[in-house]
Amino acid sequence: MEIENGIPIPQPHSAARGGRVYPFLYTLEVGQSVLVETEGLNRISLNACRAYAKRRYGRKFTLRTLPEGTRIWRTA
């Protein structure tokens, strides 16, 4: 392990600061789906955003993990 100085801290990009981690949850229409690559996917964060979209906007989604990634469908 190496201790380093002068490394800048990146700006946060969370939903708490007004950004949207998974913006497609807010633009998908009923019946549409999107494939999210599994690499780098934070499943907990995705489920939290999905639950927020349901509570706040009444949008419902279903997720399925596939070999090529996670597919998300808007169902209502």
Q: What is the pLDDT of residues 17-27, one digit of tens each?
A: 444 667 777 88
Token pair 């100085």: residue: 5
Name the pTM for this structure.
0.64
Q: What is the pLDDT of residues 28-55, one digit of tens each?
A: 889 999 888 766 666 777 788 788 888 8
Indicate the DSSP class of residue 31: T
Torsion angles phi and psi, residue 69, rounded to 5: 150, -160
Mean pLDDT, range 52-72, rounded to an integer: 85
